[in-house]
Amino acid sequence: MNERETLKINRQGHLEIGGADCVDLAKEFGTPLYVFDERYIRKMMQTYRNAFKNYEGGSCVLYASKAFSCMGIYAIADEEGIGADIVSGGELYTALKAGFPAEKITLHGNNKLRSELELALKSRVGTVVVDSAVEADTLDGIAKTEGIKQSVLLRINPGVEAHTHAYVQTATPDSKFGFPVANGSAKKMAEYILTKKNLVLKGVHCHIGSQIFEKQSFAVAAQKCIAFLAELKNSLGFEAEALNLGGGFGIYYAEGDPVLTPKDYTEFLSTLISSVTEGCKENGLRLPFLNVEPGRSIVGEAGITLYTVGAIKDIAGIKKYLAVDGGMFDNPRYCLYHSKYSAILANRANETPTEYVSIAGKCCESGDLIGDHFNLPKAEIGDIVAVLSTGAYNYSMASNYNRNLIPPVILVKDGKAEYLVKPQTYEDLTRNDIVPSYLKKA
């Protein structure tokens, strides 16, 4: 466990997060339950924001909403003075409903719907990242109708392959995201956007992947982006004002992952900033306004999920299963990526682990596992299992598979807990169901 002041084992031998005893949280709110540590979220937002305080080109950190989106997280981001990266109409609607300033929102997506683009421009979002020629055409038309000049960035693919899972690499040659620099597509697209009367090309955007621990990957990506900006200046006479280098900073999930502190993330950003500064100096470019888009590293380790053990199945000589009251409907990442996690018995957190077990969910799928090979004390029915580092891409990817209820989300700070997302009900599940008239009983 990557312990910190707000995630530790207390005097009762229980897991504590944000000053709250996890056993008490399970009793009060039930399980399964997503729990978020507000102080850690704020600390990470401040870490990213402060890392740019000496950068002379100007900057804005954008919280990557896809990691975890709800009205409360946007309220925190707004208080901490950072922007938001959103990738759908739903995320945009949520941010706006929370009162988040539209001018600090950047809209992403490789296939944005016309309705999403219309909502974005009607709301006056600050920036749209263009990822196709047809999108540039559509956006230009909507901007004309709205009577505005929309600021845009061009998403490019610099060809930097981060060492991570293939499904979360986004800058490989065959990625669905961005225009490749190597084959000239990015330059042609930049030239095309510059012909649009209602679009203002501010610069470029790139994102090389997720769960990255190598500083050099970010440095190389920055260098390639600067080289491309120099090419645009030399060949098209266009000098970029902005550069968005995306996110993808890794976090600790399980043994084998680096244990990172806020200081370590600051060093990541210092490396990135140095690459940009040196590259601009070498190429005779002005320093661009910089954006980065951390999401997982802000909320990932801030979140845990609590479950209750409901059944134990020991298959002699093969495997032992602990079955919990959640599963792939609240955390599909093991099924998708075989993602690693750490777990602890929250009500017996100070006991020595004695066996390796698999944690199974309650869905009607053999592959419904939270993971394999968790080292825990011998568990009993009713024990509270805490799976750590579930703050990113768990609630966001949750579903009602098997018509299970998506767990509620609570925010804890100084021992006090309140809902971020209220519990679903069975009525919520059937709210939009309709029985066709010809199937209704007379």
Helix (H, G, I), strand (E, B) or coil at 426: helix
Cite the beta strand spans of 337-442 per DSSP E. Answer: 343-345, 355-360, 369-376, 384-387, 409-413, 416-421
Burial (CB count <10 Å: 0-12, 13-18, 19+), residue 49: middle
List, in sequence order, every beta strand (DSSP E) within 3-43. 7-9, 15-17, 20-21, 33-37
Residues contacting residue 262 through CB under 8 Å, at least 6 positions apart: 43, 44, 47
Q: How far is it, in rounded angstroms, from Cα 102 to Cα 211?
A: 28
The answer to whether 161 touches 171, Cβ cutoff 8 Å, is yes
Tokens coding 141: 């038309």
Report, in angstroms and rounded to the nearest whole number, the Rg of the chain calculated over CA atoms.
Answer: 23
H/E element, 59: strand 59-64
Q: How many helices (H) does the chain have, and how many strands (E)? A: 12, 21
Helix, strand or coil, per DSSP, at residue 377? coil
For the annotated catalytic residues, the residue numbers are 364
Burial of 436 (0-12, 13-18, 19+ CB in 10 A): exposed
